[in-house]
Homo-oligomer: A and B are copies of this chain.
Amino acid sequence: MPIASTRNLIIEKADALFYEGGFEATSFADIATAVGISRGNFYHHFKTKDDILDAVIVLRMERTRAMLDGWQAEGEGPRERILSFIHMLIANRAKIMAFGCPVGTLCSELAKLDHAAQKRATEILGLFRDWLAGQFHALGAGDQAEALALHLLAWSQGVAVMATAFRDEAFICSEVAGIERWMANATSLSHPV
């Protein structure tokens, strides 16, 4: 856990505000107010808004890596690890219904803004993809591992978008159940989708 320096506080609050309100709609003033510092102080830590975005992406990458490493170290099998990933949809359902998936919505927004950081944001999705591919590989999926990983990522992204649009908690649960059924079906894993 990093020290609670002003800089880290800014990144923390910016992370939440970018998630809950979007990058474009969140202003310097919003973040400064949330942190409780003056706008002038802000400039000492971050020269531009894009610099904050970069820092937020770095933070999210570190947290994602830490989360994946944590699941990896828990000692259970790849099937259980994949379920840990999927159950994020349940654990974070309230926030997902309100704001969507933090990574997916950021990638979408940055794509529309034609923002240089979009590539880096996508790398977070890449972390999930590679980690999931590793799990599927361990399950014996062979060269289908990455395709299965991408498919599962897309599935969860779709659930997040729909859950946000319809504010439908039951839908999240039924889709997660569907993924669990899909995971339990060994045949599906050698023949993707």
Evaluate contact between A178 and B165: CB separation under 8 angstroms.
Answer: no
Complex-state Cα separation, A98 to B107, whole angstroms? 11
Verify if A150 is at the interface (C-beta below 8 Å from B).
yes
Residue of B with least CB distance to A192: B178
Given contact pairs A98-B111, A108-B161, A154-B158, a sample of 13 additional A-B residue pairs in the complex whose CB atoms are under 8 Å apart: A22-B109, A22-B112, A22-B113, A100-B108, A107-B161, A108-B164, A111-B164, A122-B166, A147-B174, A155-B158, A156-B158, A157-B157, A157-B158
Verify if A11 is at the interface (C-beta below 8 Å from B).
no
4 nearest interchain CB pairs?
A: A158-B158, A178-B193, A154-B158, A107-B165
Verify if A153 is at the interface (C-beta below 8 Å from B).
yes
Residue of B with least CB distance to A26: B112
Evaluate contact between A125 and B165: CB separation under 8 angstroms.
Answer: yes
Contacts of A166 in B (CB 8 A): 122, 125
Contacts of A151 in B (CB 8 A): 175, 178
Main secondary structure of the interface of A (DSSP, over half): helix
What's the minimum C-beta distance from A128 to chain B, rounded to whole angstroms?
A: 11
Verify if A162 is at the interface (C-beta below 8 Å from B).
yes
Query: How many residues does chain A have at the interface if contact means C-beta atoms less than 8 Å apart?
Result: 46
Complex-state Cα separation, A105 to B112, whole angstroms? 9
Verify if A43 is at the interface (C-beta below 8 Å from B).
no
Complex-state Cα separation, A159 to B154, whole angstroms? 5
Residue of B with least CB distance to A97: B111
Verify if A77 is at the interface (C-beta below 8 Å from B).
no
A111-B122 contact given A25-B24, A158-B155, A178-B151, CB 8 Å threshold: no
